[in-house]
């Protein structure tokens, strides 16, 4: 079954990137010249997703403005003969059919996904975490959607992380299947060192069957008193099994300060307009460090 719907939870308070996220949604923080969430919507659109639900909260309507038409700006660019810029601006509002809903209380990622139930309407759907940007030739969520079509089981994007990092993330019990796919039969959120199952962790993407909503409703609040999506996926993995897809592409965590800097530098170095200039600047700078 083709995956046509995606949910982007972007309602979180973003406390790790304060004060930047005080009035500005962290999902709108730019990587060079594009807000993080635009990379994510583009990834979904390139993967064949047609309908996107973005979960927002109070003070985040800037996200809606960004994906809306901008008649004043468009007129101004048209008058000035700035054809290329005009096309670029128009394309943003035509990327996908985007709707929005507000999560009224930020009770966790699992709770945010639960808000998408009526939008999803019984079909399997993609989840792209609003602060995880993944850059690569083959869009990451498309790789997961293909795995879903092949195996018919919920899929999670997984990557190996360092033994230090796994303590802050989730750890998967995996056995290898084909290529970059693994069977996941169990998982644990923020494991203590003796509970680590593997260094594979879920990072930023999943494709889930609609039965996840019933599971979420039965799942008690977990870490930080929040309803954790990982806790619901654990139930899915233990009962039906899930597929882990070690996707290709580089993931940038826009929810923490170092991640934002790494994204700016790496994407900046490849940027056609500023790449060369940034390289020269960095070469000179590292000599002084
Ligand atoms: P995070 O846990 O990284 O977001 O959730 P957060 O709560 O904003 O982060 P900190 O810890 O305060 O810095 C991953 C994604 O899920 C969304 C966030 O917006 C982010 O894109 N999210 C999180 C929601 O939509 N609702 C929530 O209740 C929590």
**Does the CB atom of residue 16 touch ligand 1 within 6 A?**
yes
Q: How far apart are the CA of 20 and the centre of ligand 1, in A?
A: 15
Q: Count up the domains in the chain and report the number.
A: 1
Q: How far apart are the CA of 112 and the centre of ligand 1, in A?
A: 9
Q: How far apart are the CA of 98 and the centre of ligand 1, in A?
A: 20
Closest C-alpha among 52, 47, 51, 58 to residue 12: 58
| Residue 223 pLDDT level (bands cut at 50, 70, 90) | confident
Q: How far apart are the CA of 111 and the centre of ligand 1, in A?
A: 11
CA dist 181 and 245 (Å) reads 5
Query: Checking DSSP bridges between strand 125-128 and strand 5-9, what pairing results, if any?
Result: parallel
**Does the CB atom of residue 111 touch ligand 1 within 6 A?**
yes
CA dist 87 and 149 (Å) reads 34
CA dist 209 and 270 (Å) reads 37
Model confidence at 121: pLDDT above 80: yes
- For atom 14 of ligand 1, the residue with the nearest CA is 129
**Does the CB atom of residue 25 touch ligand 1 within 6 A?**
no
pLDDT at 140: 98
Q: What CATH number is given to the structural domain containing 171?
A: 3.90.550.10
Q: How far apart are the CA of 14 and the centre of ligand 1, in A?
A: 6
| Residue 224 pLDDT level (bands cut at 50, 70, 90) | confident
Q: pLDDT per residue over 145-195, tens digit each?
A: 999 999 999 999 999 999 999 999 999 999 999 999 999 999 998 899 999
Tokens of 33: 């010249």
The atom number, within ligand 1, closest to the CA of 108 reads 28
**Does the CB atom of residue 133 touch ligand 1 within 6 A?**
no
**Does the CB atom of residue 203 touch ligand 1 within 6 A?**
no
Contact between 198 and 171 (Cβ < 8 Å): yes
Instruction: Look at the block and give the residue holding tokens 């730019």.
Output: 30
pLDDT at 138: 97
Q: How far apart are the CA of 249 and the centre of ligand 1, in A?
A: 22
**Does the CB atom of residue 259 touch ligand 1 within 6 A?**
no
Q: pLDDT per residue over 247-281, tens digit each?
A: 999 999 999 999 999 999 999 999 999 999 999 99
End-to-end CA distance of the chain: 53
**Does the CB atom of residue 124 touch ligand 1 within 6 A?**
no
Q: pLDDT per residue over 46-56, tens digit each?
A: 999 999 999 99
Q: Where in the sequence is the domain holding 148, given as residue range(s)?
A: 5-286
Q: pLDDT per residue over 56-90, tens digit each?
A: 999 999 999 999 999 999 999 999 999 999 999 99
Q: How far apart are the CA of 163 and the centre of ligand 1, in A?
A: 23
CA dist 170 and 203 (Å) reads 9
């Amino acid at each position: 079954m083709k995956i046509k719907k995606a949910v982007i939870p972007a309602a979180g308070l973003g406390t790790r990137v304060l004060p930047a996220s005080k009035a500005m949604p962290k999902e709108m923080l730019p990587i060079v010249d594009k807000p993080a969430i635009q990379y994510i919507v583009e990834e979904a659109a390139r993967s064949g997703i047609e309908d996107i639900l973005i979960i927002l909260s109070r003070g985040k309507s800037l996200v809606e403005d960004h994906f809306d038409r901008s008649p004043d700006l468009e007129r101004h660019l048209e008058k000035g003969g700035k054809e290329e810029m005009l096309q670029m601006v128009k394309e943003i509002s035509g990327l996908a059919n985007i709707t929005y809903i507000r999560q009224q209380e930020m009770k966790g990622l699992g709770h945010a996904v639960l808000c998408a139930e009526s939008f999803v309407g019984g079909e399997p759907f993609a989840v792209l975490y609003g602060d995880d940007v993944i850059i690569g030739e083959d869009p990451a969520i498309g790789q997961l959607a293909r795995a879903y079509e092949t195996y018919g089981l919920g899929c999670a994007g997984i990557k190996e992380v360092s033994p230090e990092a796994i303590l802050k993330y989730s750890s998967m019990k995996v056995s290898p299947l084909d290529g970059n796919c693994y069977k996941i039969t169990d998982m644990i959120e923020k494991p203590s060192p003796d509970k680590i199952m593997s260094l594979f962790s879920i990072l930023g993407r999943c494709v889930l069957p609609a039965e996840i909503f019933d599971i979420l409703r039965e799942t008690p609040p977990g870490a930080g008193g929040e309803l954790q999506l990982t806790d619901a996926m654990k139930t899915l993995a233990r009962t039906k099994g899930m597929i882990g897809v070690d996707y290709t592409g580089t993931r940038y965590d826009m929810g923490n300060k170092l991640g934002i800097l790494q994204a700016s530098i790496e994407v900046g170095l490849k940027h056609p307009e500023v790449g060369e200039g940034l390289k020269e600047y960095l070469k000179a700078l590292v000599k002084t460090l």
